[in-house]
Amino acid sequence: MIEFISSIEFTSPLGITILIISGILVGAINTFAGSGSIISYSLFMLFGLPPSVANGTLRVGVVLQTLATSVIFNKGKILEIRKGLILGIPTTIGSIVGAQIAVTINKELFQILVGFAVILMIITMFIKPSSWVNGQKEKIKPKPTYLQILIFFLIGIYGGFIHIGVGIFLLAGLVLNAGYDLVKANALKVFIVLLYSPFALAVYVYNNEVAYLMGSIAGFGNLIGGIVASKYALKKGSGALRIILLVILFVFVAKMFGVFEYLYGLAHITH
């Protein structure tokens, strides 16, 4: 399968179809939780982009997807724009820092640390599931605390660095620290990503690490997937989103720790 995709020209009808379909899937996953961009990242590299360019190129779709879904969440009256702007400031500053250091950090070590962080979040979802569904209204404050500023600044660094999985960490910060239920946190997550993504993208554009045509084709799929997923999220509520988030988290952790590659290798040995 990998060899097959690698042999396809991305501007061919088949290549365009693959990019759009994968983009739809990525847009939906990113809207529900996060980590869908790992699909774009991997696919772009299969089509021949270097890792750094793939990392920059996927931001094109992220901007398109988050713009459309933010509009839908705002029309659904679940997006608190003022709070999103406040929390978006430290996140944006962090994203610029993260994009700048993206080529200097040990990516393998970073992936391991991220994997452990996601495992901890899965544990918290089982320990206090009501927090994710109902929120914690006593934690919702009109002004961000110093701890919140630090948390969202650090999340911004991660988002600027690689973006993959940033939605998961934003959800954790918005639910466990800021006190929002999963539906409102999801809307804020999308809006905050929309705020910082153009700045992170600008860093990659400045360093000539964006393949515009490939990013735009996949981004069209991101747009469609985000619209469909945001309407589903509005309709189904927090309970359904928590189940979807848990599934995505387990898959994300398995990917981060190479479980799929290990199983793929075992399958080849047995045959």
What pLDDT does 153 receive?
95
- Does residue 90 have a pLDDT over 80? yes
Mean pLDDT score, 139-147 = 74
Q: Give the whole-number percent of the chain exceeding pLDDT 70.
A: 68
Residue-number span of the structural domain to which 104 is assigned: 2-270
Q: What is the pTM of this model?
A: 0.77
| Tens-digit pLDDT profile for residues 97-121 | 988 877 566 666 656 665 676 676 5
- Does residue 132 have a pLDDT over 60? no
**Confidence tier at 51 by pLDDT (50, 70, 90):** confident
- Does residue 187 have a pLDDT over 70? yes
| Most confident by average pLDDT, 23-32, 48-57, 73-82, 231-240 | 73-82
Number of domains in the chain: 1
Contact 195, 38 (CB under 8 A): no
Contact 178, 139 (CB under 8 A): yes
Mean pLDDT score, 83-100 = 91
What pLDDT does 101 receive?
76
| Tens-digit pLDDT profile for residues 121-131 | 566 556 555 55
Average pLDDT, the chain: 80
What pLDDT does 237 receive?
56
| Most confident by average pLDDT, 162-166, 176-180, 210-214, 241-245 | 210-214
| Tens-digit pLDDT profile for residues 53-86 | 888 899 999 999 999 999 999 998 889 999 899 9
